[in-house]
């Protein structure tokens, strides 16, 4: 047996030192996920789409409302929420950002990349935290910037019929829009790890966000009034409403409930990621 063979059998002190230097850490896995996120055209385009939808639709609806109030009908005076009008694009943008959250995960499962990722990080959970972390920071920064842009642009279009960030609840609603979108994407990340299939995870995500509230309407009204406001999307959207409708949760309470749904999904994702074969 050669000297090199012996080295491989009994790792040398040098090998141990190199191993220590190359230790997988949460920070390194975060760096890895950041490289992954920015090196895919699809993620960049999906983020752009979410920004364009937030700003574009917000400006369009603001312009529409501006034209409505310019020619007031004395019979039907226009009552509208200028903040809500300028943030209307969020309802479209949630589709893009939700898909992005799902794709960050299922894109790896559909291509087989996940096996390379998990053999580099065999403890697995750091991958989940890193994907959720990188996505949260990128989405919170970009989507909050987009909602501010939509709001400021929308108010500029509405002119005297608009409002300002100083008005009660407005700044919270604008920040809330960016946060709501981010948590939608986090739900997508969690569902991606649970379902591991793009179409299935997207269908589940939008089933929960868009279809569940409609289905819940068939509940007896004595139940519905307690259940419907706490369904994920309704609870989450409370934070981006300037004024709460009667029976709705308080803004941050609602958002807290929405975050709890996302946290439960991510925890379930972590348990399954740890247990299942890759």
Partner 1 sequence: MIEARGLTKRYGDKLAVDDLSFTVRPGIVTGFLGPNGAGKSTTMRMILGLDAPTAGAATVNGRRYTEHAAPLHEVGTLLEAKAVHTGRSAYHHLLALAATTGISRRRVNEVIDIVGLREVARRRVGGFSLGMGQRLGLALALLGDPTTLVLDEPVNGLDPEGILWIRNLLKALAAEGRTVFVSSHLMSEMALTAEQLIIVGRGRLIADVSVADFIHNSSRQTTRVRSPQAAQLRDLVAGPDVTFADAAAGALEVRGLGSEAIGEIAARHGMTLHELTPVHASLEEAFMDLTRGSVEYHGVTAGELAGAERSAE
Can you say whether the dihedral through the CA atoms of 54, 59, 61, 62 is positive or negative?
A: positive
Q: Which is nearer to partner 1, 111 or 214 (CB)?
A: 111
Residue of 24, 167, 215, 219 that binds partner 1 (CB under 8 A): 24
Q: C-beta of 196: minimal distance to partner 1 in Å? A: 14
- Mark 102-134 as b/e (b = at least 16 C-beta within 10 Å): bbbbbbbbeeeebeebeeebeebebbbebbbbb
Q: Considering the rule CB under 8 A, would residue 115 count as an interface residue with partner 1?
A: yes
Residue of 4, 13, 218, 245 that binds partner 1 (CB under 8 A): 4
Q: C-beta of 111: minimal distance to partner 1 in Å? A: 5
Q: Considering the rule CB under 8 A, would residue 1 count as an interface residue with partner 1?
A: yes
Q: Which is nearer to partner 1, 61 or 121 (CB)?
A: 121
Q: Considering the rule CB under 8 A, would residue 118 count as an interface residue with partner 1?
A: yes
Q: Considering the rule CB under 8 A, would residue 214 count as an interface residue with partner 1?
A: no
CA distance 263 to 27: 21
Q: Considering the rule CB under 8 A, would residue 217 count as an interface residue with partner 1?
A: no
Q: Considering the rule CB under 8 A, would residue 48 count as an interface residue with partner 1?
A: no
Binding residues for partner 1, rule: CB under 8 A, are: 1-9, 11, 15, 18-24, 28-29, 31-33, 35-36, 39-42, 107-108, 111-113, 115-123, 277-278
């Amino acid at each position: 047996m050669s000297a090199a063979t012996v080295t491989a059998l009994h790792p040398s002190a040098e090998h141990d030192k190199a191993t220590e230097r190359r230790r997988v850490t949460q920070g390194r896995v975060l760096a890895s996920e950041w490289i992954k996120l920015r090196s895919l055209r699809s993620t960049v385009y999906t983020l752009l789409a979410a920004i364009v939808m937030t700003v574009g639709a917000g400006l369009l609806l603001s312009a529409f409302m501006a034209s409505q109030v310019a020619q007031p009908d004395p019979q039907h005076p226009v009552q509208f929420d200028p903040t809500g009008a300028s943030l209307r694009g969020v309802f479209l943008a949630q589709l893009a950002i939700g898909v992005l959250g799902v794709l960050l995960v299922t894109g790896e499962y559909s291509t087989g990349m996940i096996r390379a990722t998990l053999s580099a990080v065999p403890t697995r959970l750091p991958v989940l935290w890193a994907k959720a972390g990188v996505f949260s920071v990128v989405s919170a920064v970009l989507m909050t910037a987009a909602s501010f842009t939509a709001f400021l642009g929308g108010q500029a279009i509405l002119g005297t019929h608009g409002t300002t960030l100083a008005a009660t609840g407005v700044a919270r609603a604008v920040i809330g829009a960016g946060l709501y979108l981010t948590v939608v994407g986090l739900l997508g990340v969690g569902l991606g790890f649970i379902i591991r299939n793009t179409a299935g995870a997207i269908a589940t995500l939008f089933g929960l966000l868009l279809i569940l509230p409609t289905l819940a309407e068939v509940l007896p009204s004595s139940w519905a009034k307690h259940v419907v406001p706490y369904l994920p999307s309704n609870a989450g959207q409370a934070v981006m409403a300037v004024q709460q409708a009667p029976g709705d949760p308080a803004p941050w309470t609602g958002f807290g409930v929405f975050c709890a749904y996302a946290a439960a999904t991510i925890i379930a994702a972590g348990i399954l990621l740890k247990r299942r074969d890759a």
